[in-house]
Amino acid sequence: MSPGTGCTSLIPISDLVRRLRERGAERVALQFPAGLARWAPGIATALRDAGFEVIVSGDPCYGACDLALDTLAHADVLVHFGHAPVEERPDVIYEPVRIDFDVTVLSRALPLLESRRVGLVTTVQHVHLVDAMAAYLGEHEIEAVAVPGDGRTPLRGQVLGCNFAAARATGADEILFVGTGVFHPTGVQLATRARVVALDPLTGEARSVDASRLVRRRAAVMAKAADATSFGIIVSTKSGQQRMDIARRLVALSDRAFLVAMREVSPAGMLDLGFACYVNTACPRLAYDDQIRFPVPVLAPPEFEILCGVRAWDDYAIDEYLSP
Ligand code: SF4
């Protein structure tokens, strides 16, 4: 499978054309996350050849929380690639991309599992394999519990970097995360306090997760924020990242705190505004992943609550964007 003009095997294009026609679309907006953007010319060509006017969003996109509504304003329907819905809209078609693997790779995780009953979670690219993974674990006398999360993670076993409801809902003392990267399994552990084993199904690497390193790093950021003379409480203007209710509650905790609306949470924007510290209510991952890029401490909401004395250290929590 390779991208480029005329290449459309990222998705079944005839199925997409059918769904667009069912909606009566004539003008179609396309939105891709960075890793899939190279498919834009091929899919745009195929849709144009099928009779649609096509406009491609060229803005950065990290999740279904960031729909290209500005681009949609010039079209009848937006097709958002790579992610499952965090909100359903009649004028948006979501095209999550499936990544397959041989579920026998779970054999790599078996020696690390200590329980006969484990929660099973993964990311949207692999969620179609949940039943096959559960069956494989069952063959090895391990009961796998995979359940939906909340309205933001409605698929069985699906977690997001901002939502671990499906892990919590398993009620399991041990959880197997199948997916890439370290952030999701760390978040699963902080959100559930369970033992967590992470398996990368593409490399076959399995490991026990230790979230304490992240907490130590965050404690150092909080220490730097303790003497801040002003706090900007960031509220995102992106469609699925707005948490004004939380931001207002945080502002009420300190007379040094002010609401700051941002579309892109950028180091330059922070410097321009000049607050000594920011609290991020936009994509929760920004505070954890991007602190190194930021010129001043950027706290997660639960960390600001600790700083303001309304939450105990023992109650340290990962920031989650949960469905109301
Ligand atoms: Fe992903 Fe962040 Fe959006 Fe959640 S808010 S879906 S973690 S980009």
What mean pLDDT value characterizes the chain?
94
Query: Atom 2 in ligand 1: which residue has the minimum CA distance?
Result: 283
Instruction: Say if residue 61 is exposed, middle or buried (CB neighbours under 10 Å; 0-12, 13-18, 19+).
Output: buried
Q: How confident is the model at residue 5 (pLDDT cuts 50, 70, 90)?
A: very low
Q: For 99-136, what is each residue's pLDDT tens digit?
A: 999 999 999 999 999 999 999 999 999 999 999 999 99
Share of the chain above pLDDT 70, in %: 97
Q: Is the CB of 67 under 6 A from ligand 1?
A: no
Question: 83 with 124: CB under 8 angstroms?
Answer: yes
Nearest CA to 296 out of 317, 320, 273 is that of 273
Give the mutation target among 283, 288, 289, 323 for probing the ligand 1 site: most ligand atoms within 8 A of CB.
283
**How does residue 324 score in pLDDT terms, banded at 50, 70 and 90?**
confident
237 pLDDT band (50/70/90 cuts)? Answer: very high
pLDDT above 80 for 62: yes
Q: Is the CB of 65 under 6 A from ligand 1?
A: yes
* Contacts of residue 228, Cβ cutoff 8 Å, sequence gap at least 6: 256, 275, 276, 277, 296, 297
The number of angstroms, rounded, from the C-alpha of 221 to the middle of its chain's C-alpha atoms is: 23
What does pTM read for this prediction? 0.91
For ligand 1, atom 5, the nearest C-alpha belongs to 283
Q: How far is the CA of 240 from the centre of ligand 1 (A)?
A: 8
CB of 8 closer than 6 angstroms to any ligand 1 atom:
no
Please tell me the residue having the least CA distance from ligand 1 atom 8.
Answer: 63
Cβ of 183 less than 6 Å from ligand 1: no
Predicted local confidence at residue 2, as pLDDT:
44
